[in-house]
Amino acid sequence: MMKKLIAGNWKMNGSLAANDALVRALLGGLGTAACDVAVAVPAPYLAQVQALATGTPLQLAAQDVSQHESGAYTGEWSAAMLREFGVRYTLVGHSERRQYHGESDAVVAAKAQRALAAGITPIVCVGETLAQREAGDTESVVRRQLAAVIHVNGHCISEVVVAYEPVWAIGTGRTATPEQAQQVHDVLRAQLAAASPHAAKIRLLYGGSMNAGNAAQLLEQPDIDGGLVGGASLKAADFLQIIAAAQ
Ligand code: 13P
């Protein structure tokens, strides 16, 4: 069976003191986790968390990466820079980036390509809004978002992780049911299978109000290979329970 991945997305939360306490508590409870565990931390704290996590099972992730290689792009950071801090994964196309920063499917695809070129695994986020779901467009929206990434990344597509995060489930406490999530994951898996002979090994994460109470049921679905966890990743006890549910 595929090794699951539980990734925490801290979003724009944390401080030196809070991060230190959170990471130490996680490391204290992780043991030898049977799944991969990562935290996507705000860029200013990458060095801090790298120092705490090096040599431990806790892997480092970024929340975003530039679509450009280097140069006059104020406020951005490159995949090569992330690499220098031991970053293993980076989110690309999180719905908050798409919504508040106008990231298009093409930009998200280019970011995934930059990450892959630097040896960083992009966690490509896709997901529909509530209006899109209610209009019956869920499948076409996630397929369009993923198609852009497949188109640009070609045979490298088996190296990505995909996260299905329905926008209406993010930070709302309203989780997709395991059946709703599985249904979309099945669509994504089929789309990947049409593009790559290795689709069965591509990890598909679910994200959106995943918590200690609902993680096990979601993670036992056949095409849910892990979780992308926002709010609950900021509390060590909750995040550790989600990790335990993935083993
Ligand atoms: P919540 O778990 O807080 O709903 O956030 C999900 C998310 O956006 C993870 O990237």
Ligand 1 centre from 119 Cα, in Å? Answer: 25
Cβ of 229 closer than 6 Å to ligand 1, yes or no, is: yes
198 in catalytic set: no
Ligand 1 centre from 156 Cα, in Å? Answer: 27
94 in catalytic set: yes
Q: Which of 126, 170, 174, 239 to mutate to test the pocket of ligand 1 (most atoms within 8 A of CB)?
A: 170
Domain that holds residue 183: 5-245
List the catalytic residue out of 94, 96, 103, 128: 94
CATH number at residue 240: 3.20.20.70
Contact 79, 90 (CB under 8 A): yes
DSSP letters along the chain, please? -PPPEEEEE--S---HHHHHHHHHHHHHHHSS-SSEEEEE--GGGHHHHHHHHTTSSEEEEES---SSSSSS-TT---HHHHHHTTEEEEEES-HHHHHHS---HHHHHHHHHHHHHTT-EEEEEE---HHHHHTT-HHHHHHHHHHHHHHHHGGGGGG-EEEE--GGGTTSS-PPPHHHHHHHHHHHHHHHHHH-TTGGGS-EEEESS--TTTHHHHHTSTT--EEEESGGGGSHHHHHHHHHHT-
Residue pLDDT, tens place only, 122-141: 999 999 999 999 999 999 99
Give the count of domains, the chain: 1
Tens digits of pLDDT across the chain (247 residues): 789 999 999 999 999 999 999 999 999 999 877 899 999 999 999 999 999 999 999 999 999 999 999 999 999 999 999 999 999 999 999 999 999 999 999 999 999 999 999 999 999 999 999 999 999 999 999 999 999 999 999 889 999 999 999 999 999 988 999 999 999 999 999 999 999 999 999 999 999 999 999 999 999 999 999 999 999 999 999 999 999 999 8
Residue pLDDT, tens place only, 21-38: 999 999 999 987 789 999
| Atom nearest to 209 CA in ligand 1 | 4
